[in-house]
Amino acid sequence: MRKVFTMVVAVGFSGAALAADIGLVKVSRGSVEIQRDGARMPAGVGAGLRNADVIVTGADSSAGITFTDNSLVSIGPNSVFAIDKYRFDTTTHVGEFEGNLRQGRLAAASGKMVRQAPESMKIRTPSAIMGVRGTDFVVQVDEPAAAPAAKY
Amino acid sequence: MRSIAALAATTLLVTGCAAPPKAPLAAPSLFIVLPSPDGHVGQIVVRGTGGDPRVIDKAYGTQRVLGDGSLQAGQMTEAQVGEAFGSTLAALPGKPATFTLYFLEGRDELTAESRTELEKVFGELRRRPLPDILVTGHTDTVGGLAYNDRLSLARAERLREMLVTLGIPADRIQAAGRGKREPLVATDDNVPEPRNRRVEISVR
């Protein structure tokens, strides 16, 4: 056991996670920010996420997040991803994950709540809504400039 | 990819010229199913603002949703997805690693095999940036739901304490009790089964 203890000291633990967090930022490259309650804060590795947070990335930037139900989500460059709703019960595995990709790119792998109930994880875009039945996937929302709708 | 995008843009332009829509068109979007690292391919269901839901159930199968809410099915290759989503996919955290541990019967001590497994947990922790841990206790089917929920949580909390003693910050470990809901070995109700009395450590 002493050997195990020595190994642990070498593991870098920094930043504090709060029990209220629904997820943790594990990858943060370039400019990554969290919008919460009207304020913007930088989202470095170790930043905790809450319900209703919006993650915003700049050019050449990306972010990777692990959620409490083991779902994984990453956001690509120039992206805006809002966590409209998230809850997960670690005993029953009942949960709800509604994400909203307003702009940019997203990659994800579904977690335990989807294994318990297919389509409990949903991703919205400006033009569609998608339910996940246990898989890895990617989503892209085209640049607003590419849509003729921008004129109207 | 380029041709799909061009086709989508053309369709939108034609629609736009023919008759301006009553509501502004939304930004088009693209959905693609990927195989998991272990090869598993699941499904997603895409619904546009109008029309029926469409299921994607093939690796690199796509649905493009146009600004008017209509859908176009398609197929891409791994290379095309890699080109379009390279930096996004590179930022996706690794799949959580799971380890199963057993306590000695009626004792507050791990089995010899589980102590070895615990060393692997620490190896995994070192491989990940800012790892956090979910410890989930499980029981066999002897007893009621509420009793087993409490018992499994107590098992998970005991292991959490052990991990904290070994130097892992307490606020990085969450303990949960799954009761008898997820047996490793399927049994009838009220069957003692040592293999189901376990604790799973998920490192993410």
Residues of A in contact with B92 (CB under 8 A): 27, 64, 72-74, 107-109
Cβ within 8 Å, pair A152-B25: yes
- Choose, out of A55, A130, A132, A141, the residue to mutate when testing the contact with B (most B CBs < 10 Å): A130
Q: What is the pLDDT of residue A113?
A: 97
- Per-residue model confidence (pLDDT) at position A144: 56
The pair of three-digit structure tokens given for residue B65, joined into one six-digit string: 């949703």
Among the partner-chain residues A17, A108, A146, the one whose CB lies closest to the CB of B172 is A17
Interface predicted TM-score (ipTM): 0.85
Whole-number Å distance between alpha carbons of A78 and B143: 53
Q: Do A127 and B27 touch (CB under 8 A)?
A: yes
Measuring CA to CA, how many Å separate A47 from each of A22, A34, A53, B195? 11, 9, 12, 37
For A106-130, what is each residue's pLDDT tens digit? 999 999 999 999 999 999 999 999 9
Question: Which residues does B17 contact at the CB level (< 8 Å), separation at least 6?
Answer: none
The tens digit of pLDDT for each residue in B8-57 reads: 444 444 444 445 545 567 899 999 999 999 999 999 999 987 778 999 99
Mean pLDDT of A16-33: 85
Q: What is the pLDDT of residues B56-73, one digit of tens each?
A: 999 999 999 988 888 999
Q: Which of A12, A119, A140 sits opposite B29 (nearest CB)?
A: A140
Residue of A nearest to B180 (CA): A91
pTM of the model: 0.85
pLDDT of the residue at B106: 72
pLDDT value at residue B10: 47
Lowest mean pLDDT among A85-89, B12-16, B97-101: B12-16
